[in-house]
Copies of this chain bind each other. A is one copy, B any other.
Amino acid sequence: MVNLNVNIAGLKLKNPVTTASGTFGFGEEFEDFIDLNKLGGIFVKGLTLYNREGNDYPRMAETPSGMLNAVGLQNKGIDYFINTIYPKIKKWDTQIFPNINGSVVEDYIAVAEKLNDVEGIEGLELNISCPNVKEGGMAFGVSCPSAIAVTKAVREVYDKTIIVKLSPNVTDITEIAKGVEGAGADGVSLINTLLGMAIDANTRKPILSTITGGLSGPAIKPVAIRMVWQVYNAVKIPIVGIGGIMNATDAIEFMLAGSTAIQVGTANFIDPQISVKIVDGLEDYCTQNRITEISDLIGGMIS
C-alpha cells in the first residue's frame, strides 16, 4: 500500500497530481475522459475581476516539443466563476484552486476577497507570471518588490492557502521565491511559460496576434526542473512543480528536484487522460521502488 497523500501548508491533496491553470478549463471539459475525483487538485483557468475577451486570434503556435499560447486570460470574471461555474464543479472530491490575476494590486485584492468567502475552496494560486497580458501579469512576477507587494496585499485579505505562481523569465528565481515566502505565501508554483515567439517564414509575419507568447510543453522541462531545484534549496515552503510533465517519470523527476505536488499542463491536450494515468504511474513507481509514503520522494535527489 502506497500513501500518495501530500500536504501543502496544511492543505491535504490525495495525491501530488494536479492540473495546470489554462490547460484544463474548469475540469468539466475532461469529464468524458477521466474520473476527476482521482486528481489531487485542479488549478482552474485564470480568473480576473471582470470579464476579459483575451487576445485576438491566432493564439497558438506549435513549436518543437512544445507550443506557444497567447490566450490572454479570457474569462467571464470572478463572479461568474463563483456563482455559475463553481457550483457545478464542487461536487468532485478534489481540491479546486482558482488561479487569480490582475492588472493592478487592487484587482488581485478584490478577487481574493471574494474567494475568501467561498466554502469548499481551500486555496488559490496567485498568478504573477502571465506573459500574455499587456498590463500586470508577468510584470508583477519579474520584479521582487512588486511580487512581494502583491503577495502581501492578498495575504491580508485571504485566510486560506496562497500559492504564488512564479515566472521563469527572470535572472534569479530564488530571489523572487524568497521574497514571496517572506510576504506570506504558503507555497510557490513554478514555472509559468517562458516568453517565446514564432515567425512564419512564408508570410514573414509573427504567428501569434500578440507577436510573443508563452512557451510550454516538454521543451521547457529542463528549465523547470532546474528552477524547482534552485527554489527548493532557497525556501522552506512547499513547491508545486510545473513544466512539460508528460508522464509519471517526469512527475517523479519534479518531486525528486523538490516538488511536493505537480501540475500537468500541455500534456492534457495530447492525451486527455494523462493526469489520471500519471496518478497510477506514481503509485506503480512507488510500489516497484518499495516506497510507502510518496512524500519521501520530495527533494529526494541524491547528489
A residues contacting B by CB (< 8 A) are: 61, 63-66, 68, 142-143, 169-172, 194-199, 201, 203-206, 211-212, 215, 217-223, 225-226, 229, 244, 249, 252-253, 256-257, 285, 300-303
Contacts and interface: CB of A to CB of B under 8 A. Distances in A.
Contacts of A257: 197, 199
B197 A226 contact: yes
Contact of A64 (B65, B68, B196, B226): B65
A242 B90 CA distance: 48
Given A204-B256, A301-B206, A222 B211 contact: no
Contacts of A285: 201
Copies, count:
2
Given A64-B244, A194-B222, A204-B301, 13 more contacts: A61-B222, A63-B222, A66-B222, A169-B171, A194-B223, A196-B222, A198-B225, A199-B225, A201-B253, A203-B302, A204-B256, A211-B229, A212-B226
B65 A65 contact: yes
A226 B196 contact: yes
A215 B249 CA distance: 20
Contacts of A249: 201
Nearest to A206: B303
Contacts of A221: 63-64
A173 to B, nearest CB: 10
Contacts of A256: 199, 201, 204
A254 B132 CA distance: 22
A300 B204 contact: yes
A206 to B, nearest CB: 6
A233 to B, nearest CB: 11
A190 to B, nearest CB: 13
Nearest to A220: B219
Given A170-B171, A219-B219, A256-B204, A199 B63 contact: no
A57 to B, nearest CB: 16
Contacts of A65: 64-66, 218-219
Contacts of A204: 256, 300-302
Contacts of A226: 195-197, 212
Contacts of A222: 61, 63, 66, 68, 194, 196-198, 215, 219
A203 to B, nearest CB: 7
23 contacts: A63-B222, A64-B66, A64-B217, A64-B219, A64-B244, A65-B218, A65-B219, A66-B219, A142-B172, A143-B171, A170-B171, A171-B171, A196-B226, A198-B225, A198-B253, A199-B225, A199-B256, A201-B252, A203-B302, A205-B302, A205-B303, A211-B303, A215-B223
